[in-house]
Amino acid sequence: MSYWWFIPVIAGVSLFFTALLRRYALSRSLMDVPNERSSHSIATPRGGGVAIVVAFLLALAMLWLVDRLSSAHFFGIAGAGALVALIGFMDDHGHIAARWRLLGHFSGAAWVLYWLGGLPPIVVFGVNLELSWFGYLVGVFYLVWLLNLYNFMDGIDGIASVEAICACLGASLLYWLAGLDGLIWGPLLLAACVAGFLYWNFPPAKIFMGDAGSGFLGIVLGGLSLQAAWASAPMLWAWLILLGVFIVDATYTLFRRLLRGDKVYEAHRSHAYQFASRRFGKHLPITLAVGVINLFWLLPIALCVTHFGLDGLLGVALAYAPLIALAIKFRAGDLEAPAIGG
């Protein structure tokens, strides 16, 4: 039986639920009010990412019920995603101390790894590395960093949505070409959920994603990457390449701020994409540029890794080199200039 009809249906669920969340946020004055750390100038409803969470959890449940998703993958990814989203939702509506947020994030990451069987073997220059128990430690930090960097990078209109859609559709294409048809449904349906939300979040955004949505996307994308890596080792490298824009900007910025002694848990506007959006005076060119980089640079390199024998580590280095150059060009991690306007 074909289930392709479910893709537009789940996108419609996300689209409709985002509209309801926007109306709810406006009625309750749940607004993101601009301040000196903001990249926007108009008070905007927040929390729309909950639509992505609800729609994708429904999609995963459907896949599980029709035997298109194993119980381990369902409980692992859905459970961790729901936990991280709940933490983000509570933080969006109040404040949770950083230590408690991190405890929840590490718990979610450990949950994913428990159900997926840990970190899969990593192939480097043809050598198969079995990390055993150390793989769990590496995997936990990988997932926690991915979900937090996704939160850091959700700072201008549409950027987090475009990154997720590009990465998911790119991964789906790689799966299809590799004959891993059974894996396609997860990223494909996640892309549909995000697309429904993007209608409302595309520059100029009518609602923001919020921590519930961005953290959820980070942990789910990480879970999908590990799911794929267990089926084919090069797919882990492919996912690292596809997510390169966010990984490079967030990691480079973090290291520079750590070296300067900044309080890295405090909000800031010193990512490369934030400097770039201020330089161009708009969010749209930067959001579109992320899509172009993903489509015309990162996806072809990921394809070379999965299908044409390029070593994964070399592929990551090749993919990241110009991204690091862009981070330097746009002063990622620099001290922020005073905000102009609102």
This prediction's pTM? 0.94
Average pLDDT over residues 44-56: 94
For residue 270, give its domain range.
12-34+41-329
Residue 298: in which H helix or E strand, if any?
A: none
pLDDT computed for residue 17 by the predictor: 97
Mean pLDDT of the region 118-146: 92
Provide the pLDDT for residue 41. 61
Structure confidence at residue 3 (pLDDT): 80
Asked whether residue 335 is assigned to any structural domain, the reply reads no
Six-digit token string for 55: 């729609």
Whole-number pLDDT of residue 14 = 98
> Regarding predicted confidence, which is higher, 199 or 129?
199
- The percentage of the chain sitting over the pLDDT mark of 90, rounded to a whole number, equals 78
Between CA 53 and CA 217 the distance in angstroms is 8
As a whole number of angstroms, the distance between CA 107 and CA 72 comes to: 17
Of 238, 268, 232, nearest to 253 by C-alpha is: 268
pLDDT of residue 338: 44
The pLDDT of residue 342: 27
pLDDT computed for residue 335 by the predictor: 80
In a domain, 50, yes or no: yes
Does a structural domain hold residue 336? no
| pLDDT above 70 for 138 | yes
Work out the percent of the chain whose per-residue pLDDT is above 70: 95
- Tens of pLDDT, residue by residue over 227-242, are 999 999 999 999 999 9
Quote the pLDDT of residue 38.
57
Model confidence pLDDT, tens digit, residues 63-91: 999 999 999 999 999 999 999 999 999 98
Q: Is residue 71 part of a domain?
A: yes
pLDDT confidence bin for 331, thresholds 50/70/90: very high
Whether residue 43 is predicted with pLDDT greater than 90 in this model: the reply is no
The pLDDT value recorded for residue 42 is 77
Residue 140 has what pLDDT?
97
Mean pLDDT is highest, among 34-48, 257-271, 303-317, for 303-317
Domain contains 6: no
2 located within any domain = no
- How many CA atoms are closer than 13 Å to the CA of 265, on its beta-carbon side? 7
- Quick check: 20 pLDDT over 50? yes
Average pLDDT for the chain: 92
Residue 2: phi and psi, rounded to 5, are -85, 140
Choose the weakest-confidence range: 88-97, 156-165, 238-247, 313-322.
88-97
Q: Is residue 190 part of a domain?
A: yes
User: What number is the average pLDDT over the span 199-216?
Assistant: 94
Task: Give the confidence band of 18 by pLDDT, cuts at 50, 70, 90.
Answer: very high
- Report residue 186's pLDDT band, with 50, 70 and 90 as the boundaries: very high
Q: DSSP string covering 110-179, please?
A: HHHHHHHTSSPPEEETTEEE--HHHHHHHHHHHHHHHHHHHHHH--STTHHHHHHHHHHHHHHHHHHHHT
pLDDT for 275:
94
Query: Rounded distance, CA 118 to CA 9, Å?
Result: 33
Give the number of domains in the chain: 1
Domain-located, residue 266: yes
Q: What is the pLDDT of residue 31?
A: 81
pLDDT of residue 340: 33
pLDDT digits (tens, 9 = 90+) for 3-13: 888 999 999 99
